[in-house]
Structure 1
Amino acid sequence: MFELRRLRLLHELSLRGTLAAVAEALSYSPSTISQQLAQLEKDAGVALLIADGRRVRLTDAGILLAAHAARALELEERIRAELESLQPGIAPVRVAVLQTAAHALLPAALSLLAEREPGLRVEIAEVPPEEGLFELSARGFDLVIAEQYPGHTRAHRAGLERDVLGSDPIRLALPPADSARSLADLRDRAWVMEPAGTAARQWAVQQCRAAGFEPDVRFEIADLTAAVRLIAAGRAVGVLPDLVWTDIDPPVRLVDLPGQPVREIFSAARASSASRVGIRAVRAALRDAFAARPV
């Protein structure tokens, strides 16, 4: 018989690519991972891994068994979700959240949960959406709050389902005394943008290119509160979502972009665990918090 714990290690290796990455993600030593996978090979009766320089890669049999491992893990989650619905107590929910949602939605959502499900433990980590969605697939989180920019569709990972919370307008943010009226007026300005590789950065750069110029990205900052301060101080311009201004008056001048674009805010969960009592409660609280936020 295959042991589910060892199957998970193989599944993790298929996602993360290296034994070291699996060990770090699961807080095991690389030697422990190697020993457990060696035992899994004995259980399977075929070679699952092959040396590739200093790394290992999956054999055809390893790829096949990793796919079955993913289905076994999904089935285990579905069983746990059904059992949880029949017994008192709610398992903790681990949530990865992007920064603006952490500021704008979490306080209200957690207050709602304290009233509705006082026994529910919610664990929060601020994680970029790209990383959060990967870790959701890898079972590092139970729920992810992420965003999707117009014209930049995120890949739909197998086994994940999305729940749209709502739309968040995106506008130009300029220093208070700046008289610019459009993107084209900002071709010679210093820009602050989120790090390269993020959806926010890709979208912002594309807007500038559509306006006929390549932005001078002088400041690369993931913390949008720091970006706001740079803009308010007159050191840069940028594009920012309106969730940044929840409960505060913008200290910058906001200018609408052509077409008044919005980004979509959504939560994502594994389909195999989406029916869990705690996950459904957190999602409902997030929807209500988004709907009740000041506009």
Structure 2
Amino acid sequence: MDLRRLQLLVELSRLGSMHAVAEELHTTTSTVSQGIATLAREAGAPLVEPDGRRVRLTPAGRRLADHAVTILAAVDAARLDLDPAAEPVGVVRVAGFATGIRRSLLPAMDDLAATHPGVEVQIHEYEPVEALDLLARDDVDLALAYDYNLAPASWRSDLEVTELWRVPWGLGVPARERRAPFATYADRSWIVNSRNTADEEVLRTLASMAGFTPRIVHRVDALELVDDLIVAGRGIGMLPHGPASRRGIRVLPLKGPQVTLRAYAVTQSGRDRWAPLRAVLDLLVT
């Protein structure tokens, strides 16, 4: 199979439109359509089907697109082995949680601009479940995800997972409050994440150990809004320890057990050999 046609299929799986693929690759829609048709004949199976004014991949098309990503990454890796001086060039799509993007990806992008200016990073902010779903559909190349020691993630066998850093979490309460046994907070209103269930699982585990069921009132994604609700006396919730940037909030340490958030870089197995993605990963784990 011609590598250029495989590239057309990969771009079509990502963009969903032959016209968009043509614009992305600076060619014509007719060329894209003919290339996909030739590839279908080579594969011996239809690869696309109509979807309104657009097209979508058939099951066979999706399977071949998955293989194509691995094949093209392997070819890039082989070229790099043959030419170690080759400069990585390409677009790396990253989906990740906001803190991971701020703490890991943005500093890496600054370094990347200096060391590999031909690599462009596109950022999509998502919670771990959403980011991993995008990774599985090949809509992104890299996911930044997290779990907790009390709510560990169950990673699929086809993923490469690299831990980036850890940070302890505690109980966020108004600054006037002092540390007390966890059971003391049984009657309080609680705040949990609206887009990820891990912190709620941690809360329910801690509450169960303290002998109560938490009354979850607010479901909020942005930590800044969690801060505002706590300061306003509308509830309490789990927050990371760190610099005292939240005026009016005290983050109380938790013991027996402690709570730790763990951040990860996640890719599809074998994809990290693709030079632009490898360049990003190397900076993330430095």
> 1:130 maps to which residue?
129
Deviations 1:76-119 (A, max 9, x none): 33223433564434212111120222233333222222333233
Residue type of the partner of 1:82?
A: A
> 1:264 maps to which residue?
262
> 1:78 maps to which residue?
74
| In 1: Cα distance, 2:90 partner to 2:231 partner | 44
> 1:253 maps to which residue?
250
Identify if the C-alpha distance between structure 1 residues 133 and 64 changes in structure 2 by more than 3 Å, giving closer, same or farther: same
Residue type of the partner of 1:282?
A: V
| In 1: Cα distance, 2:190 partner to 2:237 partner | 6
> 1:115 maps to which residue?
114
Identify if the C-alpha distance between structure 1 residues 197 and 88 changes in structure 2 by more than 3 Å, giving closer, same or farther: closer
Asked if the contact 2:88–2:116 (Cα under 8 Å) also holds between the matched residues in 1, the reply is no
Identify if the C-alpha distance between structure 1 residues 286 and 73 changes in structure 2 by more than 3 Å, giving closer, same or farther: closer
> Which of 69-78 and 261-270 deviates more?
69-78
> 2:29 maps to which residue?
none
Deviations 1:244-290 (A, max 9, x none): x45835641111112322121110112222022322222232234xx
**The residue matched to 1:191 in structure 2 has which SS?**
strand
**The residue matched to 2:273 in structure 1 has which SS?**
coil
> 1:171 maps to which residue?
170
CA RMSD of aligned residues (A): 3.5
Deviations 1:11-31 (A, max 9, x none): x7xxxxxxxxxxxx74449xx
Q: How far 1:158 sits from its partner (Å)?
A: 3.7
Identify if the C-alpha distance between structure 1 residues 282 and 215 changes in structure 2 by more than 3 Å, giving closer, same or farther: same
Q: How far 1:162 sits from its partner (Å)?
A: 1.1
> 1:216 maps to which residue?
215
Asked if the contact 1:170–1:240 (Cα under 8 Å) also holds between the matched residues in 2, the reply is yes
Residue type of the partner of 1:212?
A: G
Query: TM-score if structure 1 supplies the norm length?
Result: 0.71
Identify if the C-alpha distance between structure 1 residues 284 and 161 changes in structure 2 by more than 3 Å, giving closer, same or farther: same
> 1:51 maps to which residue?
none
Tell me the number of residue pairs that the alignment of Structure 1 and Structure 2 aligns: 256
Q: How far 1:208 sits from its partner (Å)?
A: 2.0
Q: How far 1:167 sits from its partner (Å)?
A: 1.3
| In 2: Cα distance, 1:119 partner to 1:27 partner | 25
> 1:283 maps to which residue?
281
**Match runs of 1:164-243 below 5 Å:** 164-195=163-194, 197-242=196-241
**Match runs of 1:37-56 below 5 Å:** none
Residue type of the partner of 2:145?
A: A
Residue type of the partner of 1:202?
A: E
| In 2: Cα distance, 1:69 partner to 1:143 partner | 17
User: Structure 1, unaligned stretches of length 5 or more?
Assistant: 13-24, 30-34, 49-61, 289-295
Identify if the C-alpha distance between structure 1 residues 248 and 104 changes in structure 2 by more than 3 Å, giving closer, same or farther: farther
Asked if the contact 2:92–2:120 (Cα under 8 Å) also holds between the matched residues in 1, the reply is yes
| In 1: Cα distance, 2:130 partner to 2:249 partner | 30
User: Structure 2, unaligned stretches of length 5 or more?
Assistant: 19-32, 48-57
Identity of aligned residues (%): 27
Asked if the contact 2:193–2:220 (Cα under 8 Å) also holds between the matched residues in 1, the reply is yes
**The residue matched to 1:121 in structure 2 has which SS?**
strand
Identify if the C-alpha distance between structure 1 residues 5 and 280 changes in structure 2 by more than 3 Å, giving closer, same or farther: closer
| In 2: Cα distance, 1:103 partner to 1:89 partner | 24
| In 2: Cα distance, 1:63 partner to 1:89 partner | 32
Q: How far 1:130 sits from its partner (Å)?
A: 0.6
| In 2: Cα distance, 1:116 partner to 1:175 partner | 44
Q: How far 1:239 sits from its partner (Å)?
A: 0.7
Residue type of the partner of 1:256?
A: P
Q: How far 1:226 sits from its partner (Å)?
A: 1.0
Residue type of the partner of 1:143?
A: L
| In 1: Cα distance, 2:62 partner to 2:118 partner | 36
Asked if the contact 1:192–1:220 (Cα under 8 Å) also holds between the matched residues in 2, the reply is yes
